[in-house]
């Protein structure tokens, strides 16, 4: 009596095996793939093993989190002669098949899951189909397409007596996954303190407790040291550096009374003197990263390197931003050299200005490559500008309808960035305009004489006729 349950169990297992053999045997798997690079040719391979008769193979691309399946390949055995229709149901062989789908040039948009669905006929009846499937996730990488280094918060003035923080921004676009971005100075990796939040705008000089390491050997020479000492001596004597703009006051400076009335006009003066706040130790660098996902699946990475600027040492320092990415065989790189402006080149149009013309004075370059972008300030030596303002900020100064009174006037352009400043001057020569009789232009240089002369002649003729 106790053997009956075990006998019934054996019978059930036997019946299940018979039904399984009648239904057919089918296993499906897709060969795994490592991450691929956009632009490469990729082949997806679906392997399946069965002892039944093939019905169909369907490949799907899954999107929108699995809610949408896009059919990309279909094989229907009913319309194919690759398989024999005379297969004997008494033969039972395990046949191994492989279905492949080739993507000639994968794109980032091809990233995602793929499924291979296989169907065979049920051995018990041709009306039923046994189905099985396999899936794979295609990981498409993309190397960064662009890299750029810019200065934050520019243009900015040169600060002589107060230390200021400076930030370089490295912008890397088009990468998937996000690349690794880091900075170098003069070819040496920068050991920066990582930040998770941006520094406050009012932050003072940045400090850290790391060991001291001097940078004087990089750029500091005897000439710069002597210049710095000369500035300190000038401060002790109460003098003022020649490149500093004088303070504006209604009370005349007693020292200016004994000076000549004409202003001394140097050709070019570069501010390279540095006061006591400048430190010669290695600056403390802080590095912060931000990631912005793009609509195409790539990521824009911004690396911000911030430190307290030292113009005495940082001028002509080479900073490079380098990028590592698994899709790159070697790092990408972008370089900038911090340089103070020197020797602005002034261009004036028209080259021969006449009374009533609109004159444009433009800074169209420097004697050196300047970074970051400088800011420009125009002033008129000894007087105000034509529109009555004391100064004008911009790369181009426009003087509309210049009058004859501006002949011989001198204009100063000060170009500056956080590394230093320089002044240059140009003189405006205004020639007579043959279309405007001398002495008939108004204060703005516009002609008013001919119409007035005609009116005077008409009035005089009227008086003569009345007398006669």
pLDDT, tens digit, 9 for 90 and up, residues 159-183: 888 889 999 999 999 999 999 999 9
Q: How many whole angstroms separate alpha carbon 172 and alpha carbon 179? A: 8
Residues of the chain falling short of pLDDT 50: 1-3, 15, 18-19, 81-92, 209-269, 446-468
In our burial notation (b when 16+ CB lie closer than 10 A, e otherwise), range 142-167 reads: bbbeebebbbeeebbebebeebebbb
Please report how many Cα atoms fall inside a 13 Å half-sphere around the Cα of residue 70, on the Cβ side: 9
pLDDT of 24 reads 60
- Report the DSSP pairing between strands 299-308 and 165-175: antiparallel
CB atoms within 10 A of CB 46: 25
DSSP 302-360: EEEEEEE--HHHHTT-EEEEEEE-TT-SS-EEEEEE-B---SPPEEEESSSEETT--EE
Which helix (H) or strand (E) segment is 22 a member of? helix 3-23
Cα radius of gyration rounded to whole Å, the chain: 41
Query: Is it true that the peptide bond before 266 is cis, omega within 30 degrees of 0?
Result: no
pLDDT of 420 reads 94
Bridge partners of 276, per DSSP, are none
Which helix (H) or strand (E) segment is 422 a member of? strand 420-427
Q: Which residues contact 101 (CB under 8 A, 6 or more apart)?
A: 43, 44, 46, 59, 72, 73, 114
pLDDT, tens digit, 9 for 90 and up, residues 277-319: 555 567 899 999 999 999 989 999 999 999 999 998 999 999 9
pLDDT, tens digit, 9 for 90 and up, residues 411-437: 999 999 999 999 999 999 999 988 877
Which helix (H) or strand (E) segment is 222 a member of? helix 222-236
Kindly state the tokens that stand for 87.
Answer: 């297969």
pLDDT of 214 reads 41
Q: How many whole angstroms separate alpha carbon 374 and alpha carbon 395? A: 9
166 to 266, 286, 310: CA distances (angstroms): 30, 11, 9
At residue 12, φ and ψ (nearest 5 deg) are: -65, -45
C-alpha dihedral, 217 to 221 to 227 to 229, nearest 10° = 60
pLDDT of 67 reads 83
pLDDT of 51 reads 80
pLDDT of 240 reads 40
pLDDT, tens digit, 9 for 90 and up, residues 44-77: 999 999 887 888 999 999 988 778 899 999 888 7
Q: What size, in residues, is the chain?
A: 468
- Report the DSSP pairing between strands 286-293 and 193-195: parallel
Please name which of 354, 373, 368, 356 lies closest in space to residue 428, comparing C-alpha atoms: 354
pLDDT of 88 reads 39
pLDDT of 438 reads 65
Tell me which residue has tokens 């703005």. 444
Sign of CA dihedral 119, 120, 121, 123: negative
């Amino acid at each position: 009596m106790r053997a009956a349950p075990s006998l019934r169990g054996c019978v059930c297992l036997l019946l299940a095996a018979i039904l399984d053999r009648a239904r057919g045997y089918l296993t499906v798997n897709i060969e795994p793939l490592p991450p691929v690079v956009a632009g490469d040719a990729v082949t997806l391979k679906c392997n399946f093993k069965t002892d039944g008769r093939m019905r169909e193979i369907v490949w799907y691309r899954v999107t929108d989190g699995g809610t949408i399946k896009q059919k990309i390949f279909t094989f229907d055995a009913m319309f194919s002669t690759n398989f024999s229709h005379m297969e004997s149901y008494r033969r039972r062989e395990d046949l191994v098949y492989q279905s492949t789908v080739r993507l000639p040039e994968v794109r980032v948009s091809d990233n995602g899951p793929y499924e291979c669905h296989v169907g065979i006929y049920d051995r018990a009846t041709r009306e039923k189909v046994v189905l099985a499937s396999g899936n794979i996730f295609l990981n498409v990488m993309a190397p960064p397409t662009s890299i750029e280094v810019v200065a934050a918060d520019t243009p900015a003035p040169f600060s002589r007596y107060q230390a200021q923080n400076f930030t370089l921004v490295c912008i890397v676009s088009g990468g998937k996954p996000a690349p690794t971005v880091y900075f170098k100075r003069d070819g040496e990796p920068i050991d920066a303190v990582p930040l998770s939040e941006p520094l406050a705008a009012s932050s003072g000089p940045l400090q850290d407790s790391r060991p001291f390491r001097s940078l004087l050997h990089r750029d500091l020479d005897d000439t710069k040291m002597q210049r710095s000492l000369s500035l300190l001596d000038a401060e002790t004597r109460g003098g003022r550096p020649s490149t500093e703009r004088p303070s504006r006051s209604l009370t005349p400076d007693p020292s200016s009374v004994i000076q000549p009335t004409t202003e001394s006009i140097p050709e070019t003066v570069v501010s390279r003197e540095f006061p006591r706040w400048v430190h010669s130790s290695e600056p403390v660098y802080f590095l912060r990263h931000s990631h912005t996902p793009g609509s195409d699946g790539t990521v824009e990475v911004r690396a911000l390197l911030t430190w307290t600027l030292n113009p005495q040492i940082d001028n002509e320092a080479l900073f490079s931003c380098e990028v590592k990415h698994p899709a790159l065989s070697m790092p990408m790189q972008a370089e900038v050299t911090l340089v103070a402006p020197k020797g602005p080149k002034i261009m004036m149009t028209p080259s021969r200005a006449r009374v009533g013309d609109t004159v444009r004075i433009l800074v169209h370059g420097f004697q050196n490559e300047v970074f970051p972008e400088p800011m420009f300030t125009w002033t008129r030596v000894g007087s105000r500008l034509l529109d009555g303002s004391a100064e004008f900020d911009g790369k181009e100064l426009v003087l509309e309808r210049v009058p004859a009174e501006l002949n011989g006037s001198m204009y100063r352009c000060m170009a500056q960035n956080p590394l230093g400043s320089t002044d240059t001057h140009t003189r405006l020569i205004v020639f007579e305009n043959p279309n405007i009789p001398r002495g008939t232009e108004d204060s703005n240089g516009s002609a008013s004489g001919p119409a007035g002369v005609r009116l005077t002649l008409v009035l005089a003729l009227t008086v003569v006729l009345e007398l006669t």
